[in-house]
Amino acid sequence: MSLLAPPPQVRFEAVSYRYPQQAEPTLQGVDWRVEEGEFVVVAGPSGSGKSTLLRCLNGLVPHFSGGRFGGTALVAGRDTRRNGPRSLSRLVGFVFQDPEAQLVTSRVEDELAFGMEQLGVAPLTMRKRVEEVLDLLGIAALRGRDVATLSGGERQRVAVAAALSLQPSILALDEPTSQLDPWGAEDVLSALTRLNEDLGLTVVLAEHRLERVVAHADRLRFLPAGNGAAVEGRPRETLAAMDVALTPPLIRLARRIGWQPLPLTIKEGRACVRLDPRHPASPPTDRLSPVGRPVVVVQDVTVGYGSRAVLEHLNLDAGPGELVALMGRNGSGKTTVLRSVMGLHRPKTGVITACGRDLSRVDTAELARDVGYVPQQPGTLLFAETLREELAFTLKHHGGRGKDLETVLALLGLADAAERHPRDLSGGERERAALAAVLVGAPRVLLLDEPTRGMDAARKAALGTILHDLCAEGATVLMATHDVELVAAVATRVVLLGDGRVVADGSPREVLSGSLTFATQINKLYGGQWLTVEDVVTGLERGND
């Protein structure tokens, strides 16, 4: 028996990489090791190089993307410069961010077999492996389903299963939960944890939602923006060293009030609360919704596709200065409410008015002077040659009335991107570009559909500030989202939808407190009406007074 340690699954030595037509390298002098059976999480702000690092693992960088690659990257002993993604596909399973775009066949079972068919795996072996991965990921019930009918979480689990069917040594996942609702994300992450703990599969995961994974990770690698030195170590060590704005609320609180060691789970956090002699005073009261005549009124509205009703006799209103968060599971009607208020759906029954105008008598393009809408796919909004021209178009359509173009760009951190083509922007920049293109028109009503998808914590905080300021100026914001932390931080009202009806309508503290599915991390920790880190910190300060 050899006492020698097995070689690392991943060994990067001085790896550098620059994309074609980019002046600055995305990776520079990266040294990295991943041992067999480790669960490594890669975190960092948007644009820090997480995806690029993962793409080096299976050779997509540089074989698919081109560019200049330096240094040595050995994956399972193979040099990725000599082995492209096709030959590495047996060793590295790769799961992409978008559950829509990565499935290549129409049926779940075919999807699982696709890679094996390409690699010429014997039919008997294929059959056995398909059965195994179906059970491993808990998707046996989906085997005959058409992939078009699956939810986002189900699709991502199918993608993971398809990658696993090739029996790779390493599973690399590039923000696989960023497009999913909390339940779908939980399903995927639970499956990954099980695969790592039960089967010893090496998992490398790029992820923004650290709160769900840090407890299971062996190591956390934090990539700062702008090619700074990476921080890597046990999750507690890295979380203590990384930018606090990018950490989960539990860690932010622990670092603010000095809990040691840092709790990684709610259970550990509760133990800290019990042992901490300090107790916060009573939680702050609700932010009061400004009173005023409603700007948006949805009255007894039914909307449907064919014979299927999506909204049923829905009543909802929102006044000036209100930030109304629309929450609920996928399919509950959140997006349809926004689209109806934008005039993109004609109700079968009922009346919708916005800014005093009956939407049945106004066309959408005319309504756009007062109502701004940022859909889930913000790229669809952008069509001009440069970002500056995008904003200029909005101003022209508003007859020159609106906000200062340069101020809006600066507010959204896009001042340097003004002359770039919107399609050349990164995913996160494009989201902000779409928001800028709408905000510059100073809409009286702003409709946002899942604005934080794929956004890191710092960007979310910045968005929260922008929305807060917008409401302070008297605008009305309706935001469909699953992001309870953002809602707790900025919403003045929460409307919970279920099957096209309003299930609950109240202040964030009324609706989110004690909820089984919509509670914030802090609420799970302290219960009562505590929602945010600021609530507790302020409460502790008042308690000390």
Partner 1 sequence: MSGHGRTDLDARAWLLWGVAASLPPLLGRNPFVLTATLLAVLGVRAAMAPSDAEGALAWNGIVRLAAVFASVGTLFNVLTAHLGDRPFASVPDSLPIIGGPLTLNALVYGLLSGSALLTLVLVGTTLGAALDWPALARLLPARLSTVAVAGAVAWAFIPQTVVALREIREAQAARGYRARGGRDLVPLLVPLLAGGLERAVTLAEALESRGFSSSSDQQDWTSAGPPWRAVLAALGLAGTLLGAYLLAAETPIAALTTIGFSAVALAVAGADKRNPRRRTRYRHTHWRQRDSVVAGTAIIVVAAVVITLAADPRAIRYDPYPSLIPPRVNLGLLAALTLLLSPVLVAPVRPSGSPSAKTSRSVQRVPLP
Query: Per CB under 8 A, which of residues 82..111 are in contact with partner 1?
Result: 84-87, 89-90, 92, 94, 96, 98, 101-107, 109-110
Residues 208-247 that bind partner 1 (CB under 8 A): none
What is the distance between the alpha carbons of residues 203 and 218, in angstroms, rounded to a whole number?
10
Query: Looking at beta carbons only, is 430 or 509 nearer to partner 1?
Result: 430
Query: Looking at beta carbons only, is 72 or 106 nearer to partner 1?
Result: 106
What is the distance between the alpha carbons of residues 252 and 521, in angstroms, rounded to a whole number?
11
Shortest distance, position 75 Cβ to partner 1, whole Å: 13
Q: Does 197 bind partner 1 (CB under 8 A)?
A: no
Shortest distance, position 111 Cβ to partner 1, whole Å: 9
Q: Does 23 bind partner 1 (CB under 8 A)?
A: no
Task: Report residue 123 as tokens.
Answer: 């039919």
What is the distance between the alpha carbons of residues 325 and 507, in angstroms, rounded to a whole number?
10
Query: Looking at beta carbons only, is 149 or 315 nearer to partner 1?
Result: 149
- Beta pairing class for 349-354 and 296-305: antiparallel
Task: Report residue 491 as tokens.
Answer: 């919403």
Out of 382, 442, 463, 540, point to the residue binding partner 1 (CB under 8 A).
Answer: 382
Overall residue count recorded for the chain in this entry: 545
Q: What residues have CB less than 8 Å from 178, skipping those under 6 apart?
A: 97, 208, 209, 453, 454
- x/- site string to partner 1, residues 357 to 376, per CB under 8 A? ------xxxx-xx-xxx-x-
Measure the CA angle with vertex 464, ends 460 and 406; round to 5°: 95
Query: Looking at beta carbons only, is 214 or 337 nearer to partner 1?
Result: 337
Query: Looking at beta carbons only, is 421 or 468 nearer to partner 1?
Result: 421
Q: Does 379 bind partner 1 (CB under 8 A)?
A: yes
Query: Looking at beta carbons only, is 285 or 307 nearer to partner 1?
Result: 307
Question: Which SS3 state, helix, strand or coil, does residue 62 take?
Answer: helix
Out of 27, 73, 76, 162, point to the residue binding partner 1 (CB under 8 A).
Answer: 162
Out of 64, 241, 267, 271, point to the residue binding partner 1 (CB under 8 A).
Answer: 64
Q: How many C-beta atoms lie closer than 10 Å to residue 64's C-beta?
A: 11
Query: Looking at beta carbons only, is 88 or 470 nearer to partner 1?
Result: 88
Report the DSSP beta bridge partners of residue 92.
Answer: 170
**Is the previous residue joined to 25 through a cis bond, with omega within 30 degrees of 0?**
no
Amino acid sitting at position 226: G
Total of chain residues touching partner 1, rule CB under 8 A: 80
Q: Does 51 bind partner 1 (CB under 8 A)?
A: no
What is the distance between the alpha carbons of residues 62 and 19, in angstroms, rounded to a whole number?
9
Q: How many C-beta atoms lie closer than 10 Å to residue 475's C-beta?
A: 21
Question: Which of the stretches 277-285, 380-388, 457-465, 507-515 binds partner 1 when contact is defined by CB under 8 A?
Answer: 380-388
DSSP string, 376-401: SSGGGG--SSSHHHHHHHHHHHTTT-
Shortest distance, position 85 Cβ to partner 1, whole Å: 4
Q: How many C-beta atoms lie closer than 10 Å to residue 362's C-beta?
A: 18
Residues 323-342 that bind partner 1 (CB under 8 A): 339, 342
Shortest distance, position 429 Cβ to partner 1, whole Å: 14
- x/- site string to partner 1, residues 424 to 443, per CB under 8 A? -------------xx-----
Q: Does 381 bind partner 1 (CB under 8 A)?
A: yes
CA distances to 6, 40, 274, 489, 513 from 263, rounded to whole Å, are 32, 18, 13, 22, 22
What is the distance between the alpha carbons of residues 305 and 340, in angstroms, rounded to a whole number?
13
Query: Looking at beta carbons only, is 163 or 210 nearer to partner 1?
Result: 163
Shortest distance, position 386 Cβ to partner 1, whole Å: 12
Q: Does 115 bind partner 1 (CB under 8 A)?
A: yes
Task: Report residue 435 as tokens.
Answer: 């928001």
Question: Would you say 245 and 461 are in contact if contact means Cβ atoms under 8 Å apart?
Answer: yes
- Beta pairing class for 202-206 and 27-34: unpaired
Task: Report residue 77 as tokens.
Answer: 């002993």
Shortest distance, position 505 Cβ to partner 1, whole Å: 26
Closest by CA to 474, choosing from 340, 295, 288, is 295
Query: Looking at beta carbons only, is 249 or 427 nearer to partner 1?
Result: 427
Shortest distance, position 543 Cβ to partner 1, whole Å: 48
Shortest distance, position 132 Cβ to partner 1, whole Å: 12
Question: Would you say 317 and 297 are in contact if contact means Cβ atoms under 8 Å apart?
Answer: yes
Shortest distance, position 344 Cβ to partner 1, whole Å: 5
- x/- site string to partner 1, residues 122 to 161, per CB under 8 A? xxx-xxx-x------------xxxxxxx------------
Q: Does 181 bind partner 1 (CB under 8 A)?
A: no
